[in-house]
Amino acid sequence: MQTNMIISDPTIMMGKPVIAGSRVTVELILEKLAAGESIEQILEAHPRLTREGIQAALTFTTGVLRGDVVYPAEAAA
Q: How many domains does the chain have?
A: 1
Question: What is the SS3 assignment for the chain?
Answer: CCHHHEECCCCCHHHCCEECCCCCEHHHHHHHHHCCCCHHHHHHHCCCCCHHHHHHHHHHHHHHHCCCCCCCCCCCC
Higher pLDDT, 16 or 71: 16
pTM of the predicted model, to two decimals?
A: 0.83
Query: Does any domain span residue 72?
Result: no
Position 51 in a domain: yes
CB atoms under 10 Å from CB of 23, counted, come to: 12
At residue 72 the predicted structure's pLDDT band, cuts being 50, 70 and 90, is confident
Q: Which domain holds residue 24?
A: 3-65
Query: Is pLDDT at 71 greater than 80 in this prediction?
Result: no
Kindly report the CATH number assigned to the domain that includes residue 18.
1.10.10.10
Work out the pLDDT band at 77, boundaries 50, 70, 90: low
Residue 22 lies in a domain: yes
Contacts of 65 (CB under 8 A, 6+ apart): 71
Within a domain: residue 77?
A: no
For 31-56, the pLDDT digits (tens) are 999 999 999 999 999 999 999 999 99
Decide if 59 is inside a domain: yes
